[in-house]
């Protein structure tokens, strides 16, 4: 059964790493993953997290000026 995940895309690898650190500091469980196939983005990696953490994650990142360029939900096999 597929698992639903939120994928946060950023323009650079540095932005992904910085956002990951901010989420880690807030104890928000996430993973750095390869950019999903078929998704057009400038960076080859992204952040994956549980959909229930989407709101709190985006709020935390916006508060620190590190909003993702795109947030999307995908099914992971």
The CATH number of the domain holding residue 31 is 3.30.70.260
Q: Is the Cβ–Cβ distance between 46 and 35 less than 8 Å?
A: yes
Residue 40 is predicted with a pLDDT of 82
Number of domains in the chain: 1
* pLDDT per position as a tens digit, 3-43: 999 999 999 999 999 999 999 999 999 999 999 888 887 88
Residue 77 is predicted with a pLDDT of 60
This prediction's pTM: 0.92
Helix (H) or strand (E) holding 54: helix 54-63
Report the SS3 class of residue 25: helix
């Amino acid at each position: 059964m597929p698992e639903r995940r939120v994928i946060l895309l950023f323009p650079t690898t540095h932005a992904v790493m910085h956002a990951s650190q901010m989420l880690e500091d807030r104890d928000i469980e996430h993973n750095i993953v390869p950019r999903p196939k078929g998704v057009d983005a400038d960076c080859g990696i992204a952040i994956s997290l549980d959909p229930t953490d989407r709101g709190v994650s985006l709020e935390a990142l916006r508060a620190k000026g590190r909003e993702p360029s795109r947030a999307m939900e995908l099914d992971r096999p």
